[in-house]
Amino acid sequence: MNYTLHQLQIYLKISELQSITKASEALHLTQPAVSIQLKNFQDQFPIPLTEVVGRRLFITDFGKEIATAAEKILNQVHEINYRTLAYQGKLFGRLKISVVSTGKYVMPYFMSDFMRRHEGVELVMDVTNKSIVVQSLEKNEVDFALVSVLPEKLHVDRMELMPNKLFYVSDYDRTLPKSIIKRNLFENIPLIYREPGSATRNAMEGFVDRNNYTVVKKMELTSNEAVKQAVISGLGCSIMPLIGIKNALRNQDLKIVPIKGLPIITNWNLIWLKSKNLSPVAVAFLEYLGQNKHQIIAEHFEWIHDFN
């Protein structure tokens, strides 16, 4: 057999996600490249690793055993690399972070220089909605989570990073009366929501309820990017985090509609369980943020203060 570590990594990701498309996205590879590597890997076994039923891909019982073996092999490879770096006196290990979907516009800027400084650190960052982020933290599957609203039932420590502002936005070409009654924005224009479990959706629903607005027409989409594109196309309006729409505002694809009580302002917080025994990598990352977060904000997020 001549399978490579790269093939093991690809196959393991396919087995985890049970989807070539999702695996290609997670690995930042093209779908054809992933399909070719899966075929090359499969060709080395006389028994099928996967099967397609309808349009869904399933892992066979034999394939599950190979996935378990692949995970063990890859973990041993990581261990070899880590021990080598430790022998050289370098920081090594994995840093696991779960990030709410809008946080993908924030977290990479707080990570990039740290990762460049420490080549022995491997980053595993999952981007999903708030409810899954909190579950990952509660199950101790990650070191840190990035959220804009603190979970109520977990005992966590936190480091506040930067403000998170949510504005009511419409497509740039939508004509609105100068003296429009704000209630009419919600009753007459479709309001586009994120999916249940999203912190942005919770903030929107809280604002609507506090003001006793009646939302007659609404839509639900499962990502911030999908909501943004829907608003740009004229399907409706939404209350959106400023951090994800900077370019759309500057390109005059979107515009902010002033409404009393907006923006909703929360804070991006990096949180971790109080009972968590932080790894040396996690401790080093917190120390790095404590020393550098203000500089990172000044370099990459000063523009936020242009919108109030």
**Helical ranges in the chain per DSSP H:** 5-17, 20-27, 31-42, 61-87, 107-117, 130-138, 182-188, 199-210, 224-232, 246-250, 280-300
Mark residue 242 as left, alpha or beta (left: phi above 0; alpha: psi -120 to 50; beta: remaining). alpha
Q: Which residue has the tokens 């985090």?
A: 241
Selection from 226, 245, 267, 264 nearest residue 169 by Cα: 245
CA distance 133 to 285: 19
CA distance 169 to 55: 38
CA distance 241 to 169: 10
- What's residue 280's pLDDT? 85
Q: Which two tokens stand for residue 167?
A: 């504005």
Average pLDDT over residues 110-115: 94
94 phi/psi in degrees, rounded to 5: -105, 140
Residue 94 pLDDT grade (very low, low, confident, very high; cuts 50, 70, 90): confident
Tell me the CA distances in angstroms from 306 to 194, 219, 240, 256, 263, one per residue in order: 25, 30, 16, 12, 13
CA distance 110 to 178: 40
| Whether residue 280 has a cis bond before it, omega within 30° of 0 | no
pLDDT tens-digit profile of 185-233? Answer: 888 889 999 988 888 898 899 999 998 888 877 889 988 889 999 999 9
The residue among 263 and 81 whose pLDDT is bigger is 263
The DSSP bridge partners found for residue 158 are: 271
* Beta-carbon count within 10 A of 277 CB: 7
pLDDT tens-digit profile of 234-243? Answer: 999 999 999 9
| Distance, CA of 238 to chain centre | 20
pLDDT tens-digit profile of 18-42? Answer: 999 989 888 888 999 999 999 999 9
What burial class does residue 71 get, using C-beta atoms within 10 Å of its C-beta: 0-12 exposed, 13-18 middle, 19+ buried?
Answer: middle
Tell me the CA distances in angstroms from 155 to 73, 248, 271, 277, 280, one per residue in order: 35, 37, 10, 14, 21
Q: What value does the mean pLDDT of the chain take?
A: 89
Q: Which residue has the tokens 């929360």?
A: 266
Judge whether residue 90 has pLDDT over 70: no
pLDDT tens-digit profile of 256-280? Answer: 998 888 999 999 999 999 999 888 8
SS (H, E, C) 216-252: CCEEEECCHHHHHHHHHCCCCEEEEEHHHCHHHHHCC
Instruction: Enumerate domains of the chain plus CATH numbers.
Output: 5-86 (1.10.10.10), 90-162+267-306 (3.40.190.10), 164-265 (3.40.190.10)
